[in-house]
Structure 1
Amino acid sequence: MNMEIKPTESELEILQVLWKMGDATVRDVHEELAKTKGAGYTTTLKLMQIMDEKGLVERDTTSKTHVYKARYTQEKAQTSALDRILSTVFEGSTSDLVIQALGHHRASQDEIDAIKKYLDQFGGK
């Protein structure tokens, strides 16, 4: 049985740091997280070790200080979260999701232009 790994909220916070930084040590990740939340270093270390076991990150152990990088991509996280929200909150209605997103969150003109361009391409298929 091949179950898809879904990161927890804490694991997603660590992944966000790794997506931004690229390769990073536990200390690097912890210092970034400490700017916005009060987790201890050992908690960050344990979470990253678990994430390595789950295959969400990979650890380079060739030097004394282990360096981690994300294996679970930002695109995969976004797709997984969107699929979950679409099926549970919006009962599969893509249009309801888009209307809510655009109706309750101010999009920049660049974002609106990108959405229009995408819809033009999508409509042509």
Structure 2
Amino acid sequence: MRDKMLIAGLLVAFSASPALAQAAAAPAGPSLITQLLFFLPLILIFYFLLIRPQQQRAKKHTEMIAAIKRGDTVVTSGGLIGKVNKVNDGEISLDLAENVRVRVVKAMIIEVRNKAEPVPAND
């Protein structure tokens, strides 16, 4: 008798579970269009405030590196200031002082100070 009641109770429990699961409706989340309207401005803000300025800086740096010629005064990322002696494909030979020459990778140049820059007057 006890086994019959246990089996009957299990049958009732298992048969009631799917009915209860179907009765509870899932909460409706935001629609796809709403999510896109939220994330699209964020993507645009990231592009215009972070990505685009970085691309422009990289483009200017590449143009500056390509325009280096012999006789230019340059500043390296390590803070060395020297005059360009020789320009190769990937590196530059700099004169730092008399009889002191250093080879520097072109990408490490952060500023070019041309020899034709006007010197400020002390008036």
TM-score bracket, normalised by the shorter chain, equals under 0.3
Bigger radius of gyration: 2
Larger proportion of helix: 1
Determine which structure has greater relative contact order: mean sequence separation of CA pairs < 8 Å that are 6+ residues apart, divided by chain length: 1
TM-score (norm 1): 0.22
